[in-house]
C-alpha cells in the first residue's frame, strides 16, 4: 500500500490522475491556500476528504483540473494507498 501510494503522490498514474505533489508541492508540504499541506495528515482524514470530493463530483460536473475531478477518478484502493503513504511522511 505504501509503495503504491508513494507512486501516486509522486508520479500520478498512467491515465488521468496527476501526482498529488504536482499541486500540493514536494512532499505534500502545501502550496498556498488553494493547495494545503497534505503530508502527515491522519489517513482517515485523507480518506474522508477524498470521499467528500467524490460525492461532490457525483452531485454535479466537476471543474476540469479541480480536486473534485481528480478524486472522482480514484478507486477505493488508490485512496487507501495514498492516504496510507501521506499519513506517514513529513512535510519537509
Is residue 92 included in any domain, yes or no? no
Domain span at 70: 2-87
Q: What is the pLDDT of residues 55-73, one digit of tens each?
A: 999 999 999 999 999 999 9
> What is the number of structural domains in the chain?
1
CA distance 19 to 59: 25
All three cell numbers of 27, joined, read 512532499
Is residue 27 included in any domain, yes or no? yes
Count of other CB atoms within 10 angstroms of residue 15: 6
Is residue 32 included in any domain, yes or no? yes
Q: 74 pLDDT band (50/70/90 cuts)? A: very high
Q: What is the pLDDT of residues 3-59, one digit of tens each?
A: 999 999 999 998 889 999 999 999 999 999 999 999 999 999 999 999 999 999 999
All three cell numbers of 31, joined, read 502550496
CA distance 25 to 10: 10
CA distance 53 to 26: 22
CATH code, domain carrying 36: 1.10.760.10
CA distance 43 to 59: 25
Amino acid at each position: 500500500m505504501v509503495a503504491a501510494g508513494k507512486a501516486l503522490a509522486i508520479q500520478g498514474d498512467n491515465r488521468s490522475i496527476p501526482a498529488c505533489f504536482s499541486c500540493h508541492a514536494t512532499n505534500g508540504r502545501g502550496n498556498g491556500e488553494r493547495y494545503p499541506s497534505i503530508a502527515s495528515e491522519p489517513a482517515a482524514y485523507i480518506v474522508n476528504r477524498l470521499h467528500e470530493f467524490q460525492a461532490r463530483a457525483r452531485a454535479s460536473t466537476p471543474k476540469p483540473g479541480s480536486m473534485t475531478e481528480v478524486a472522482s477518478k480514484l478507486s477505493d484502493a488508490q485512496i487507501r494507498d495514498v492516504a496510507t503513504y501521506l499519513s506517514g511522511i513529513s512535510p519537509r
